[in-house]
Chain A
Amino acid sequence: MTSLPMETAEYLQTEVLMDTRCLVVLLDADGRVTGLECPWGEWPLAALRIGSALPEPLRAVLDASPPDQAVQLYPFIYLDDSQVVDVHVCANGANRQLILRDVSEVHQAELKFQQKAHEVSLLLEKQAQLNRQLELQKVELERASKAKSRFIASMSHEFRTPITSIMGHADLLSRTASDANPPAAIQRASWHLLTLVENLLEEARQGQGTVHLNPAHVDLDAVLKDMAALFGEQARSKGLELRIGASPSDASLETDELRLRQVLINLLGNAVRYTREGQVELNTVFSDDRLEFRVSDTGPGISESDRERIFKPFMRLDETGQSGAGLGLSITRHLVDAMGGQIELDSEPGRGSTFRFTLAATPPGKTPIPHDLEGLRVLLVEDDPDALAILELFLADWGVEVHSASGLSEAQTLAGSQGFDLVISDLNLDEGSGGEVLQAVRALQPECRTMLCSGSGVSSVWREHYGGFADDFLMKPVQPDTLRAAIERVLSDAA
């Protein structure tokens, strides 16, 4: 201590904590180390030796320090990677001293603290982000839940109309044998109810399931008449005019009647519901092998931005004052797609809406002409004895000469030994497939007509896979009229 200049010793006492490791470096005028003093304890620093120059970091501190100030502090100077010191520069005439105070641990702690603080701020930011996301999800969930509750409430409400109608007419029927034709009204109300239930089921499947179609000849006149009766009362009570155009006389339509009715009920139901004044029209036009259905109204119209949105489940544009489940259009589009059509919408706000879709129909020239099936030679390929027996019965009753086979090889043998006018094969056989059978018979008898038959599938899908070698398709279960119609169609096409 004694060799320390007074000012430095005082400064050590008063300013520098007693319990930290300190080293006083005495320097000559050139900045060379002339002495090293440890006021308390040992602190050997390899970089500092008496007689040698200061190591670079300390040299820089000394150079930066103005010579005329008594004491200056330069905190956190790195001597090397791990050794950190606070440097006090004390001036003592021409000679200066450096007091080094070991702050490595403090500095490490500070670094750690800063790192932690940084991490914490990152976490806070992340948490804020998650909170924002949660908030958004909550809003979205509330919206969805509201839409669902509204949907359930209005669905229950919608069920009421047809059920009341059924009950009323049934009551009437039980009291009087009236001429008001209540059974037809009951039937129509049941149709309506069935459609609502079908809508619900379709909704529950959320459009993911394949629509199961049962195509058959549709009595379009009857369907249109039912629509007029079903919505006539509702339209009249709102002061609307309901116009249902006559069906084109030259078109024959084959599709799933239940689905067609479901689509028309959905479209007409919406049109009548949302139109306040004017009229609702349903027209059918036949051209180019397509039958177009057109449902027009003089309602509020739909803006371009809403035109895609209305085809989403549970979506309804006006959430106040209108009854209805706000569904139907998503299902309608799904059903029309499944029937091989495409739904289109023309609308402008204030100018009403027109929904259009087309379905394949038989052209006028190809309307099936009744055939005498007497003596027709048919090869029937079916491996299920139950299905075979009933088909044989139908065919035999029409005077058809039936030969049956249970699989591919048997069919090939028969087709190789005698001629056939028509081959009807089941699609899923134990031995071979219906497709293979038709191809094999075609190869042997190119003039033979072909028909594929199955208990499942959609005719448009069949056409894609088997259209090349099957002239027609028949859905099981087979009824006499559908079988006969299909055979006549095939024979008409050939004629």
Chain B
Amino acid sequence: MSELSREAQALQAQLTRQFIATLPEKRARFEASWNQVRASQWSLETLAQLRTLAHKLAGSAGSYGLEELGALALSLDVALDSAVSSKEQCLLIERQTMNLIEALVEVEK
């Protein structure tokens, strides 16, 4: 019942291509945001910006069939959910950000 029509599927494929075409720009935003997090020594404001990016990608990537990318974005989103309070948490966030950026590079290929 929820199968999309042929026209919609074609449109979906087109939207997906468009979405993938925006990934380099998204990656650049992640990199810039990550640099700001480090430059500001993990200020709350920059962490919130990074989280917004991760949250949006977590919400959209899966809808375009990029479940793995969405899952990576979600785990970063979740890692940023609680206040950053330990060195381990910083390392975790760093690793997840790096994983996500790497995954973006992979998808771009």
Binding site for B on A (CB under 8 A): 210, 212, 370, 384, 386-387, 389-391, 393-394, 396-397, 426, 428, 454-456, 476-481, 483-485
Q: Which residue of B lies closest to A483 (CB)?
A: B2
Please count the residue pairs between chain A and chain B whose beta carbons lie under 8 angstroms apart in the complex: 79
Contact (Cβ within 8 A) B59 A387: yes
Instruction: Show 29 residue pairs from A and B whose CB-CB distance is below 8 angstroms, ordered by the A residue.
Output: A210-B81, A370-B1, A384-B56, A384-B59, A386-B19, A386-B64, A387-B56, A387-B63, A389-B19, A390-B12, A390-B15, A390-B60, A393-B12, A396-B8, A397-B7, A428-B52, A428-B55, A454-B59, A455-B55, A455-B74, A456-B74, A456-B78, A476-B59, A476-B63, A477-B59, A479-B62, A480-B2, A481-B1, A485-B2
Contact (Cβ within 8 A) B2 A476: no
- In the assembly, what is the distance between CA of A484 and CA of B58, in Å? 20
Chain A residues with CB under 8 A of B41: none
- In the assembly, what is the distance between CA of A29 and CA of B34, in Å? 104
Chain B residues with CB under 8 A of A370: 1
Nearest 9 A/B pairs, CB to CB: A477-B62, A455-B59, A397-B8, A476-B59, A481-B2, A386-B60, A484-B2, A477-B63, A455-B58
Q: Which residue of B lies closest to A387 (CB)?
A: B60
Chain B residues with CB under 8 A of A393: 8, 11-12, 15
Chain A residues with CB under 8 A of B108: none
Chain A residues with CB under 8 A of B78: 210, 212, 456
Q: Which residue of B lies closest to A488 (CB)?
A: B1
- In the assembly, what is the distance between CA of A387 and CA of B3, in Å? 19
Chain B's nearest CB lies how many Å from the CB of A46?
Answer: 71
Contact of A394 among B4, B18, B60, B61 (CB under 8 A): B4
Chain A residues with CB under 8 A of B45: none
Encode contact with A along B1-33: 1 for CB under 8 Å, 0 otherwise.
Answer: 111110110011001001100100000000000
- In the assembly, what is the distance between CA of A210 and CA of B67, in Å? 21
Chain A residues with CB under 8 A of B1: 370, 481, 484
Chain A residues with CB under 8 A of B22: 386
Q: Which residue of B lies closest to A480 (CB)?
A: B2
Contact (Cβ within 8 A) B77 A456: yes
- In the assembly, what is the distance between CA of A394 and CA of B56, in Å? 19
Chain A's nearest CB lies how many Å from the CB of B41?
Answer: 25
Contact (Cβ within 8 A) B5 A397: yes
Chain A residues with CB under 8 A of B64: 386, 390
Choose among B22, B59, B70, B78 the residue with the greatest number of A CB atoms under 10 Å from its CB.
B59
Chain B residues with CB under 8 A of A212: 74, 78
Contact of B70 among A397, A454, A477, A483 (CB under 8 A): A477
Q: Which residue of A lies closest to B14 (CB)?
A: A393
Chain B residues with CB under 8 A of A387: 56, 59-60, 63
Contact (Cβ within 8 A) B74 A394: no
Chain B residues with CB under 8 A of A396: 8
* Chain B, 72-89, CB within 8 A of any chain A CB: 74, 77-78, 81
- In the assembly, what is the distance between CA of A322 and CA of B18, in Å? 56
